[in-house]
């Protein structure tokens, strides 16, 4: 396993990080014991950053993760969780100071720890950015001073809110998904500014929420039908070349030097082994170019959250 420094935090994070959302049954029912074994397998093979949220499985993921970490020394892992999103509807977002503080208390109890290394506002594009800038982020700064969190940042899909936050507030890190992958590399437009300010980047969903997998995009996937069709062609083309497109997607996502770590989620220990083996193989740059050409289009981005917060 390789490690990189996460921005100005100085934290050394594994190139592959563990996304714990599957522990909440986000992608289907799980066996809790197997999920716990998956966490242990990730740690045993050098993955040292684990990301979760109360939103995943409506607290189930944090609960299962807490059980998995109960027997693990605290200095063996870096732990990330979030606040602000608690469901799929507009009413399920609350980034007020009162709710953030209560959310942290609840998460710490479920996870069985006294602090988290990284604490994020979850999907900021769904709320008024005035609240984020004037109430939510100052609250996180105060929690950092209190020693209840070590570092903090924001997560989301559109890049526009990130630009506003980074220009107006000194955050430690940023978690982005689906914006540096084979189908869309638009995150690169923001990376120079993030590098200059020392903001650590965590990349998630290298397979674009299942789009770049043999199984294909789930029915709820927000991308266009045209992009789904192009993705199916790309999957088939990789198969013809004897390569699993998920391997290529993960290799591509983890090779950028300005992106210290990429989250991969699974509740199956065998998938951890497979993912790490894939990372040890050299990437086929010619195949990358061919797949990107198949995926290319003007509709690689979809809307998320409030219209005013979209790119």
Catalytic residue ranges: 56
- Give the count of beta carbons closer than 10 Å to the beta carbon of residue 224: 15
**219 with 34: CB under 8 angstroms?**
no
Residue 194, burial from CB neighbour count under 10 angstroms (0-12, 13-18, 19+)? buried
- Give the count of beta carbons closer than 10 Å to the beta carbon of residue 299: 12
Give the angle 152-310-247 at the CA atoms, nearest 5°.
70
Name the CA radius of gyration of the chain, rounded.
Answer: 18
Task: Spell out the SS3 assignment of the chain.
Answer: CCEEECHHHCCEEECEEEECHHHHCCCCCCCHHHHHHHHHHHHHCCCCEEECCCCCCCCHHHHHHHHHHCCCCHHHCEEEEEECECCCCHHHECCCHHHHHHHHHHHHHHHCCCCEEEEEECCHHHCCHHHHHHHHHHHHHHHHHCCCEEEEEEEECCHHHHHHHHHHCCCCEEEEECCCECCECHHHHCHHHHHHHCCEEEEECCCCCCCCCCCCCCCCCCCCHHHHHHHHHHHHHHHHCCCCHHHHHHHHHHCCCCCCEEEEECCCHHHHHHHHHHHCCCCCHHHHHHHHHHHCCCCCCCCCCCHHHCC
């Amino acid at each position: 396993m390789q490690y990189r420094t996460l921005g100005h935090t100085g934290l050394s994070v594994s190139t592959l990080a563990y996304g714990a959302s599957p522990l909440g049954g986000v992608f289907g029912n799980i066996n809790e014991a197997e999920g716990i074994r998956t966490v242990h397998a990730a740690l045993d093979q050098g993955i040292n950053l684990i990301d979760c949220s109360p939103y995943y499985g409506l607290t189930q993921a944090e609960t299962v993760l807490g059980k998995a970490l109960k027997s693990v020394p605290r200095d063996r892992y870096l732990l990330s969780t979030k606040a602000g999103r608690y469901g799929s509807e507009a009413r399920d977002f609350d980034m007020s100071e009162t709710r953030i503080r209560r959310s942290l208390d609840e998460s710490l109890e479920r996870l069985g720890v006294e602090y988290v290394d990284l604490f994020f506002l979850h999907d900021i594009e769904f709320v008024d950015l005035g609240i984020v800038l004037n109430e939510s982020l100052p609250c996180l700064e105060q929690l950092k001073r209190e020693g209840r969190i070590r570092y903090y940042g924001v997560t989301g899909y559109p890049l526009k809110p990130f630009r506003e936050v980074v220009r107006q507030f000194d955050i430690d890190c940023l978690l982005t998904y689906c914006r540096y992958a084979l189908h869309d590399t638009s995150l690169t437009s923001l990376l120079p500014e993030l590098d200059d300010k020392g903001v650590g980047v965590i990349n998630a969903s290298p397979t674009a929420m299942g789009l770049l997998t043999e199984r294909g995009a789930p029915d709820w996937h927000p991308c266009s039908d045209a992009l789904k069709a192009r993705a199916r062609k790309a999957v088939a083309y990789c198969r013809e070349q004897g390569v699993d497109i998920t391997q290529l997607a993960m290799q591509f996502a983890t090779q950028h030097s300005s992106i210290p770590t990429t989250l991969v989620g699974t509740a199956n220990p065998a998938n951890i082994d497979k993912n790490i083996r894939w990372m040890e193989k050299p990437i086929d740059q010619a195949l990358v170019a061919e797949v990107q050409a198949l995926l290319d289009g003007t509709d690689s981005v979809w809307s998320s959250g409030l219209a005013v917060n979209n790119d």
